[in-house]
Amino acid sequence: MAASPVVIGVDSSTQSTKVLVVDAGTGVVLGSGRAGHVVTGEQGARETDPEAWWDALRASTGEALRAAAVTPDAVVGIAVAGQQHGLVVLDGAGRPLRPALLWNDTRSAPQAAALTDALGGPAEWLARAGSVPVASMTATKWQWLRENEPAVAARTAAVRLPHDFLTERLAGVAATDPGDASGTCWYSTRTGGYDPELLDLVGLDADLLPTVARNGASRVGSLTTAAAAFLGLRPGIAVAAGTGDNMAAAVGLGLGAAGLLDHPVISLGTSGTAFASTRVRPAAPGIAGFAAADNTYLPLGCTMNCTLAVDKVAALLRLDRDDALPGGETVMLPYLDGERSPDLPHAAGLITGLRHATSPQQLLGAAYEGAAFTLLRALDELFTAAGLDPRDTAVRERPLRLIGGGAKGRVWIETIRRLSGRPVVLPAGEELVATGAAALAAGAASGDDPVRVAIGWGAGQGAELPPLERDIAAWDRMESTLGRASGLLADRS
């Protein structure tokens, strides 16, 4: 039995649900559970039945509780962090009308371009939403649904993000938070609420949307009797508003208490993200100007092709993922599913610089380098958007926190170090999205600041690796290749 109350943090990601049972006082992980999701689709489509997330939540919660050896009476709060941007449409009974369109579904790229033009260009979107529409954003997916499945759109009684869907199942309340809402492109980071003009632009009634809580740790309700029976928990425990996965990772790392971009983060997952906390509202092309779960901001650059793309190349070459060497003259831009940063939704992978002497290990190394280059390039845009020069020595010496599944891989770590020339911190916490969600649950149950709770838990602390000499030659080869190939990649359909 835990010495203090425990909380449950949920990470409902693209491919799986992960649950942590955490001691609310110490942050010690008492038990964990995991259950997978099935993602379907081809030719740009990526979909999942939202009911699969709910079933996975039950399976992973049960596994985590058994591993923790705690009784349901010990649990005082729960919060969900979910994959951002996905479009969930429900009927009047709260049942999904169709599979959710996921963040990496690129079919709405034409709608993104049309919406950008309809409002008057990128500057207008930045001024209102803080982000320019790309195929990932929820507003573009809703517009795609209206144009391609109008009967489904007409029957829609509620529109939710993935984490909203699960939170509503838990508490029986339609609620979201500013962080995840800021990834829809119908929420304004300037006003802190839904933007009526943006909703009109996509023909969406605000009554179909969840209420926006003050922050991700706001207690939006209590666990219903039905949800408690489904999950094997005690009814009445605190349910937090929750947030998006990147915002939860920031909480888990303890970001938000420091100053401007003091702790830049690279997350290596199915997708790759570069983000940092700031108190200044971001609004710059190429950067998603998100709100954070704690009422600060979380400017973020996202790439669609990260660990999954590199693993695909390793599989094609029949190599272990760690059996890689620097690419040498070979350059690979592994944009296997299109790309978001840079905005090339119809792109495919590109290889150049092959020689007779090029080895399979070098080709795999080039895939790592291409993915890392794309992410680090997004990080530089993050600093530029904040008015900082990424080439400035003081900026370049800021340690880079490396998180996500890829941060456990030797080649990922060394590639990031070699291409960035930065010190790298490897936080001790392994499931930072779920840890951040647990901190939000603790905040909902106790009223404490979730960022300070997470700082006290220490999950964001870890060993610091010294900088390596930056491989400028490899960087310049990739920058030159991207510049020459951008037109070709953009023209693919």
Q: Any idea which residues carry the catalytic annotation?
A: 245
Helix (H, G, I), strand (E, B) or coil at 77: strand
For residues 38 and 16, is the Cβ–Cβ distance under 8 A? no
CA distance 329 to 87: 42
Kindly report the backbone phi and psi dihedral angles of residue 38, in degrees, each rounded to the nearest multiple of 5, phi listed first.
-100, 125
Give the gyration radius of the chain's Cα atoms.
Answer: 21
- The rounded distance, in Å, linking the Cα atoms of 477 and 479 is 6
Cα distance between the two ends of the chain: 57
Q: Which residue has the tokens 């060394």?
A: 414
Q: What is the secondary structure of 268-295 as a DSSP string?
A: ESSSEEEE--BSSPP--TTSEEEE-TTS
DSSP-derived secondary structure letter, 260? T
Residue with tokens 């392994």: 430
**Which residues share a beta bridge with 402?**
266
Q: Do the Cβ atoms of 260 and 279 come closer than 8 Å?
A: yes
| DSSP label at residue 131 | S
Locate 281 and state its tokens: 């509202």
Which of the 8 DSSP states describes residue 14? S
In contact, 6 and 70? CB cutoff 8 Å: yes
CA within 13 Å, CB half, 325: 8
Element (H, E) at 30: strand 29-36
Under 8 Å CB-to-CB from 28, ≥6 apart: which residues?
Answer: 22
Query: Is the CB of residue 333 less than 8 Å from the CB of residue 349?
Result: yes
Q: Residue 78: CB partners within 8 Å, gap ≥ 6? A: 7, 8, 9, 10, 170, 223, 233, 237, 238, 239, 240, 441
Pairing of strands 288-291, 243-244: unpaired
Burial (CB < 10 A; 0-12, 13-18, 19+), residue 150, is: exposed
